[in-house]
Amino acid sequence: MRKDDCIFCKIANGEIPSRTLYEDEMFRVILDLGPATRGHALIIPKEHFLNLYELPEEWCAKAFVLAKRMAEQMMEKLSCDGFNLVQNNGEVAGQTVSHFHIHLIPRYQEDGQKISWEQTEPAPEELDAVREAICREA
Ligand code: 5GP
Ligand code: ZN
């Protein structure tokens, strides 16, 4: 499956050149053109899936193992001090390219980046209610 107007389909399948770090029959791993830090890369499936919900479980499992291997390789070769995996779904969550991808973001002391959120302070009843909402049988 591929979408003719999808830039990540074209990159993943080699129609648009990219700085490829790794490739197999299912995925291509490329350097991000607007990196947050040195070595920021993207894992892109060669088939078109919009987001995590559309990604078949088999692909999901393979993608996460690949993320682990890439992180290990980059930790060693780039001597980074930490690592973020980021995966955005939906515009409100920061997804700008409508083709599933995982960000591999090496972190360095003093890299000046902030990949975090403001903590909130919900009441215990609110936490109970949200747990109930998520776990309730349909
Ligand atoms: P999102 O915000 O959808 O999670 O992430 C999209 C990422 O894709 C961004 O970090 C952006 O820099 C990167 N990106 C967008 N277009 C291209 C491209 O044509 N080539 C590469 N290598 N990265 C891209
Ligand atoms: Zn696509």
Q: Tens digits of per-residue pLDDT, 64-109?
A: 999 999 999 999 999 999 999 999 999 999 999 999 999 999 999 9
**Percent of the chain topping pLDDT 90:** 95
Residue nearest to ligand 1 atom 4, measured at CA: 95
Judged by its nearest atom, the ligand closest to the C-alpha of residue 21 is 1
Q: Judge whether 99 counts as a catalytic residue.
A: no
Q: What is the pTM assigned to this prediction?
A: 0.96
**What whole-number distance in Å separates Cα of residue 32 and Cα of residue 41?**
5
- Tell me how far the alpha carbon of residue 48 lies from the centroid of ligand 1, in angstroms: 15
What is the number of the ligand 1 atom nearest to the C-alpha of 30? 22
What is the number of the ligand 1 atom nearest to the C-alpha of 18? 22
Strand 41-45 with 20-23, pairing = unpaired
Spot the catalytic one: 40, 99, 101, 103. 101
